[in-house]
Amino acid sequence: MIHKNLTATQLIEKSLRHHETHLSADGALVAISGKFTGRAAKDKYVVRSDSTENLVDWGKVNQPISEKQFQQLKGKVLAVLDSDESFYLDLSVGADPRYAMPLSVRTEHAYQALFAWTMFRDPLPSYSDHALLQPFSIYAAPSAHADADEDGTNSETFIAINFDSREIVIGGTKYCGEIKKSVFTVMNYYLPQMGIMTMHASANTDDSASSAVFFGLSGTGKTTLSADASRHLIGDDEHGWSDNGVFNFEGGCYAKAIKLSPKAEPEIWDACHTFGTLLENVVMDENSRTIDFDSDRITENTRAAYKISCIPNHHPAGTGGQPNAIVMLACDAFGVLPPVAKLTPEQAMFYFLSGYTAKVAGTEAGVTEPQSTFSACFGAPFMALHPTRYAELLAERIKKYNVDCYLVNTGWWQGPYGVGERMPIAVSRSIVNAAVSGALAQVEFETDPVFGFQIPKSLAGVDSSILKMRNTWKDKAAYDAQELKLAGMFLENFEKYADKVSEAVRAAGPNVQSKVA
């Protein structure tokens, strides 16, 4: 039996009756995703065909499968969905109707459908007739499993995209993020072909419709810093940038919930204590039904899915004008990058292609010191085309609309992880507020001798002594060594793009010789 277009309340009732979820004291649903508490990155596939052959960036991210393999996997998913109850929703992707795409989602579990209802948008009365924006369908059944020998997969889990038949099939995993990010991959494939920049970024806007964009990998503060009570939230994760401005793809937010604080993140905290919010892999007391947001007993990647309307200052239309500021967030556990640096368009391309942050010791088995993480475009796992295509679109728009670009370190100062301290959110907020208001562009800067970007000499509301990170370290020699180490990591990572970008972009990276000399 297929339940078509049930309301959110009906889906909640179904999920509870089927014992898929539990109700928290505040009415939020708690779901446990089982084996997978994050994306199955090694199990994502794209159908290789004449139309995709020269467009998709084939490799570890976009692994090729044949049409025959896809149909085998689809058959296994449909066998599960047709065997019992399933849940079907008509939805939409894209707040700007000129670039919106109809989306249908059919799931095995009611709470998966609730997640899709939360994350995506209501269907529109009409859509563009553009060939690239025709309806797309998702079929998700965690109980469907691939046979690696029979289906040519890496495991029993699969997330497979067929751009020709315009379908996604998901099996072997209950992690809701697979539904969200597979659709993002689809938009990252189609919209750049139409000249639209797609961004793994949050965005907000002021009353004059001037917007700001925040790029950043998980844990850098993208969601936290964009949810500013003084501005209107456009969206927290996935956006397009056209000649009409910035627009959200989604209708919901999927925020990391670990160590959520009512003081630092009041809007998100309130959303997580709202009826109908879906909390994934959080720890709940069985008796009191209260949530322990500090616990990582199940995973550090705890999540909260809620409608963007839960954020009081959200922008109802999900759109904004042209950005006046782009902020690239990095959680630098090495304690090297300054709290903020101004970037040229070429430097913006370099750091956008680099997509840097750092893991800290203890977050993963075997990680005993900070480890650099480079994810192109701040979202390599979701980019269907070559990263340089997105970087070119970014550079074009930065120059066309004269947008100020900044690199902001939300990581460590006074030393690396284990020695120094995490940058206070209040400091990062002051910096971001200055960036989006335009005040930061007006201050006096000096050039960093190694990284080449511009560091402010002073900034209202921020202690000037911390603007140059070296000043915050007691051991200056240790800082110098750490700085050269990180600069070298940037250069080594960028080598794979060196023959695909201009000389100006290649030269926009660090200059380790300046320090050695």
**What one-character DSSP code corresponds to residue 439?**
S
How far apart CA 420 and CA 333 sit, in angstroms, is 9
Q: Which of 14, 145, 232, 303 is catalytic?
A: 303
Rg of the Cα trace of the chain? 23
Q: For this structure, is 14 an active site residue?
A: no
Establish whether 223 is a catalytic residue. yes
Check if 222 is active-site: yes
Using CA atoms, how far apart are residues 434 and 402, in angstroms rounded to an integer? 17
Instruction: Give me the catalytic one of 200, 307, 359, 389.
Output: 200
> Which among 14, 21, 24, 39 is annotated as catalytic?
39
The H-assigned helical ranges of 159-317 are 177-190, 222-226, 266-271
Under 8 Å between Cβ of 292 and 284? yes
218 has catalytic annotation: yes
Please indicate whether residue 404 is annotated as part of the active site.
Answer: no
Q: Which of 237, 332, 404, 448 is catalytic?
A: 237
Q: Considering 202, 223, 242, 472, which one is annotated as catalytic? A: 223
Q: Where are the beta strands (DSSP E) in 122-277?
A: 136-141, 158-162, 167-171, 197-205, 211-216, 232-235, 238-242, 245-248, 252-256
Residue 399 token pair: 């120059």
Active site residue 181: yes
Contact assessment for residue 467 and residue 339, using Cβ atoms and an 8 Å cutoff = yes
How buried is residue 295: exposed, middle or buried, by Cβ count under 10 Å (0-12/13-18/19+)?
middle
* Backbone dihedral angles phi then psi of residue 197, each to the nearest 5 degrees: -75, 125
Q: Is 394 helix (H, G, I), strand (E, B) or coil?
A: helix
Please pick, among 48, 106, 109, 222, the residue that the annotation labels catalytic.
Answer: 222
Q: Which of 514, 184, 166 is nearest to 381 (CA)?
A: 184
List all residues 6 or more positions away from 282 whose beta carbon is below 8 Å from its beta carbon: 30, 257, 291, 292, 293, 295, 298, 302, 304
Tell me if 29 sits within 8 A of 277, measured CB to CB.
yes
Query: Which residue in the list 49, 137, 165, 218 is annotated as catalytic?
Result: 218
- What residues are annotated to the active site? 39, 181, 200, 218, 222-223, 237, 303
